[in-house]
């Protein structure tokens, strides 16, 4: 669901405002993966014959649950297994990522002459992320044994997964 509403004002339509909002939530094409995205943004602008000014501010939140992680091969592994079904998921059921962004920009232009224009722009972004992720590293292509690099809110540790993964799952880890 999304909306984009805009309007120009004034006798010469010199002032404009735009509002954007979006919400998307649901399962993805990957088994067990769920995504939720929310977005709000406002833009303002004004112009006359020689000056153009604009300002934009926005906020977005992106939540992922059960997102398929990055995977890698241990340097000792030299065989790349066949690729599995793209919808398969090897994420841990507790894995998640919650991201928030606040962003804005100011822009201005001034025409000194018909061929000389000065411009300036300034922008900023403030982001935060809370997560609990487990990225597998395949250590044995024949058995599918893998270790997990666990990242929990920027604290990293290594956990050994004692399961033996089927060989088709090894391909998922690549």
Copy the structure tokens of residue 3. 């909306």
The predicted model gives 24-53 an average pLDDT of 94
Whole-structure pTM value: 0.70
Predicted pLDDT of residue 158: 41
For 118-155, the pLDDT digits (tens) are 999 999 999 988 888 777 887 777 776 777 776 655 44
Mean pLDDT score of the chain, rounded to an integer? 82
Residue with tokens 């000056």: 51
Cα(15)–Cα(39) distance, rounded to whole angstroms?
24
Q: What is the 3-state secondary structure (H, E, C) of the chain?
A: CEEEEEEEECCCCCEEEEEEEEEEEEECCCCCCEEEEEEEEEEEEEECCCEEEEEEEEEEEEEEECCCCCCEECCCCCCCCCCCCCCCCCCCCCCEEEEEEEEEEEEEEEECCCCCEEEEEEEEEEEEEEEEEEEEEECCCCCCCEEEEEEECCEEEEEEECCCCCHHHHHHCC
Which pLDDT band, with edges at 50, 70 and 90, does 156 fall under?
Answer: very low
């Amino acid at each position: 669901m999304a909306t984009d509403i805009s309007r120009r004002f004034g006798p010469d339509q010199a002032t404009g405002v735009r509002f954007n909002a979006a919400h998307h939530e649901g399962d993805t094409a990957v088994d067990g993966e769920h995504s939720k995205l929310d977005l709000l943004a406002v833009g303002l602008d004004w112009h006359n014959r020689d000056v153009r000014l604009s300002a934009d501010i926005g906020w977005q939140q992106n939540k992922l649950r059960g997102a398929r992680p990055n995977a890698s091969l241990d340097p000792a592994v030299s065989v790349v297994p066949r690729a599995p079904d793209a919808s398969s998921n090897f994420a841990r059921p507790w894995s998640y990522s919650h991201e928030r962004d606040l962003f804005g920009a100011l822009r201005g232009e001034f025409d000194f002459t018909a061929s000389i224009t000065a411009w300036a722009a300034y922008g900023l972004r403030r982001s935060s992320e809370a997560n609990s992720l487990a990225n597998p590293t395949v250590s044995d292509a024949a058995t599918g044994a893998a270790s997990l690099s666990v990242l929990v809110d920027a604290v990293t540790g290594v956990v050994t997964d004692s399961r033996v993964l089927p060989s088709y799952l090894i391909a998922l880890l690549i």
